[in-house]
Amino acid sequence: MATQLRLVRKLLLHVPHRHLKNPLSFASCLYLCTDSSTHQECEEQVRKLRILLQQQRTATAENLIKTLILSKTSPFSSPNDLFTLFSVSSLKPLFTNMLLSVLSSSKMPVEALQLYSSVRKEGGFPSLASVNLLLDCLFTNGKAVQAAVKSGDLKRAREVVDLMKKRGVRPNVFIYNVLIGVLCKEKKMRDAEELFDEMCKRNLVPTRVTYNTLIDGYSKAAELEKAFDLRERMKIENVEANLVKFNSLRSGLCKAKRMEEAKKVCQEMEANGFVSDGFTYSILFHGFSRSGDGEGVIALYKEAIGKGARINSYTCSILLNALCKQGKIEKAEEILGKEMENRLDPNDVMFNTIVNGYCRRGDINRASFTIEQMENRGVRPNCITFNSLIDKLCEIREIDKAEKWVKKMAEKGISPNLETHNTLINGYGRMGLFDRCFQILEEMECHGMKPNVVSYGSLINCLCKDGKLLEAEIVLRDMEDRGVSPSTQIYNMLIDGTCSVGRIKDAFKFFDEMVESKIAPTLVTYNVLINGLCKKERIMEAEDLLNQIISTGLSPDVITYNSLISGHSCAGNTQECLELYENMKKLGIKPSLKTSHPLIILMKKEYKILS
């Protein structure tokens, strides 16, 4: 009970003072009831309540209270008036608890807090049940905001907060923290800053949660200087740091590949009495991996072992992945062996990482041997395990071996998944075996597996590269008929395919189609069309597309300018080539060899003419 009362007293501080007037005296109530008939009605309603409570007809009494406080025609100007007029001391506690409960359940937090204040000033104590209802009412706004946030409805969450303000209820720190949290998650840091400033202006003290949320948001949004500024503010405000803050800063630095600074944060953390745990080392392993520092990963592992840090399954998986990405697969196997000796239970993620590492290297035998070791350890391979092998075999055009591994999957009771079939479609397509591709699509449907945009995209891409544009368009129409929407990438494949054989009209047909379908063209789309137009010496139309790129908010790149320079070069337009060259330099676009080649050829022609 004491805890609940302390909470209510704390929440009273968040209600504007204008709502906490002193309870009205009996004389004041009479003054408000200037009409004698109104005064008589007030007394009559109080008399009815007294009788109902004396007869222990509590349900009827509660309904009457609801009517009196919710009805627009009520003779009482406020619930506090009703409380003050009820003067029967023996029934007052029962009546008070009932009134407080009704106000709370009716979602009237300001009025409920007014009543609570009046009761305490009279020296009374509401019951535990009524106080719990009051607390629930007070936290309802916070819960409403939290629920809206969890459902992804930030607009609704803000509407709840605005409604609270209109009703005179000040949002508390919890509500601000919830809103700041979702804004940081969406990387809307300016909006989060605005809310932080607002809560400070309202004299609400930011908590450690507030600071940690903002620091994490800044770190993820790559605004590390602001994250560190906030850390300094925490020190000034004497807000105690915890592991969450240090891990957020370290994570941001690792993503930015600022590993020396990340190490300094570790040192600061340890100086504050915190010990690096598995999650801490996971962040650092990932950072060294992003930086391409395989030796740094190994050195950090040795440091962790030296400090007695426990490497759990998650940390070990990150470590193995970091090593395999740097091609240090044997070292990854060695470390896995050591950790298993230290009683770490290996899982499928760890073995799959090593299998994938060997596959990326092209060492199919070692990958196969790792699968055997995996099974010997009692770890069951899954689709991911086999898909790594099948993908590599398809890549090196050993499609028969890939099919054998698909059969092995089935023999081990593992059904090939969507990715397995998509890999096979891509493998057969790259070899020009399109009949088998269509057969796989039929097999998928027979097994109740719906081909997705990747399935069709792989086939369309291979058909376009093989010059089978009619077949590619037929596949496009088939996927649409089956309810699979084409992606930007699929349209780019078709546009590129038609441009490469000089069918510019068909390319623009697909372009118009994607725009009508509200599929936004990308820079790749425009670059393919510009290149196709330039090859057909339709330079003016290509220039128009350059303007279109800029008007849609995209930025032309070196490929855009290379196509235009090449087109003007072939047309002998020296001045236009030089203008384009100067323009790309002004935009900070670094020229490539393909930029220089047509310019040099053009200048050689010019030089011969002058000679």
Three-state secondary structure of 358-399: HHHHCCHHHHHHHHHHHHHCCCCCCHHHHHHHHHHHHHCCCH
| Interacting residues of 519 by C-beta distance below 8 A, sequence separation 6+ | 486, 487, 488, 491
- What pLDDT is stored for residue 157 in this prediction? 61
> What are the DSSP E strand ranges found in 37-131?
none
Domain tally for the chain?
A: 4
Say if CB 146 and CB 178 are below 8 A apart. yes
In the block, residue with structure tokens 């220039």: 543
| Interacting residues of 341 by C-beta distance below 8 A, sequence separation 6+ | none
**Would you tell me how many other CB atoms lie within 10 Å of the CB of residue 120?**
15
Give me the amino acid identity at 89: S
DSSP label of 591? P
The pLDDT tens digits of the residues spanning 361-401 come to 999 999 999 999 999 999 999 999 999 999 999 999 999 99
Q: Is 502 left (phi over 0), alpha (psi -120 to 50) or beta?
A: left
Task: Give dist(CA 73, CA 102) in Å, integer.
Answer: 18
Is residue 354 a part of any domain in this protein? yes
- For the chain, residues with pLDDT lower than 50 are 1-2, 4-5, 7-8, 10-34, 610-611
- What pLDDT is stored for residue 65 in this prediction? 85
Are residues 431 and 408 part of one domain?
Answer: no
In the block, residue with structure tokens 């740094």: 296
Are residues 9 and 55 part of one domain?
Answer: yes
Is residue 169 a part of any domain in this protein? no
Q: Find, among 463, 445, 448, 391, the residue nearest to 422 by Cα.
A: 391
253 three-state secondary structure: helix
Are residues 52 and 103 part of one domain?
Answer: yes
Q: Find, among 260, 13, 238, 237, the residue nearest to 138 by Cα.
A: 13
Is residue 222 a part of any domain in this protein? no
Rounded to an integer, what is the distance from CA 482 to the centroid of its chain?
A: 31
Tokens at residue 487, please?
Answer: 């992606």
Are residues 393 and 464 part of one domain?
Answer: no
Are residues 127 and 25 part of one domain?
Answer: yes
Say if CB 121 and CB 23 are below 8 A apart. yes
Task: Give dist(CA 523, CA 530) in Å, integer.
Answer: 10
Query: Angle at the Cα of 453 (from 554 to 424), degrees rounded to 5?
Result: 125
Are residues 455 and 474 part of one domain?
Answer: yes
How far are the Cα atoms of 265, 297, 309, 350 from residue 294, in angstroms, in the given order?
A: 21, 5, 20, 18
Which of 140, 161, 194 corresponds to the end of one domain?
A: 140
Q: Find, among 501, 479, 500, 481, the residue nearest to 490 by Cα.
A: 479
Are residues 468 and 527 part of one domain?
Answer: no
Is residue 305 a part of any domain in this protein? no
Are residues 132 and 38 part of one domain?
Answer: yes
Are residues 18 and 116 part of one domain?
Answer: yes
Phi, psi dihedral angles at 417 (to 5 degrees): -100, -170
Is residue 268 a part of any domain in this protein? no
Say if CB 248 and CB 212 are below 8 A apart. yes
429 three-state secondary structure: helix
Rounded to an integer, what is the distance from CA 293 to the centroid of its chain?
A: 28
Phi, psi dihedral angles at 397 (to 5 degrees): 65, 25
Q: Which helix (H) or strand (E) holds 1?
A: none
Helices (H) and strands (E) in the chain, counts: 34, 0
Phi, psi dihedral angles at 571 (to 5 degrees): -85, -5
Task: Give dist(CA 590, CA 167) in Å, integer.
Answer: 58
In the block, residue with structure tokens 């009820």: 86
Is residue 321 a part of any domain in this protein? no
Tokens at residue 589, please?
Answer: 């676009």
567 three-state secondary structure: helix
| Interacting residues of 156 by C-beta distance below 8 A, sequence separation 6+ | 148
Which of 483, 514, 545 corresponds to the end of one domain?
A: 514
Are residues 542 and 437 part of one domain?
Answer: no
Are residues 116 and 7 part of one domain?
Answer: yes
- What pLDDT is stored for residue 563 in this prediction? 93
Task: Give dist(CA 12, CA 405) in Å, integer.
Answer: 69
Query: Angle at the Cα of 524 (from 519 to 529), degrees rounded to 5?
Result: 90
- pTM score over 0.75: no
For 396, the domain range is 346-413
Is residue 454 a part of any domain in this protein? yes
Which of 356, 391, 413 corresponds to the end of one domain?
A: 413
Is residue 127 a part of any domain in this protein? yes
Are residues 559 and 469 part of one domain?
Answer: no
How far are the Cα atoms of 59, 102, 213 from residue 11, in angstroms, in the given order?
A: 29, 19, 23
CATH number, residue 476: 1.25.40.10
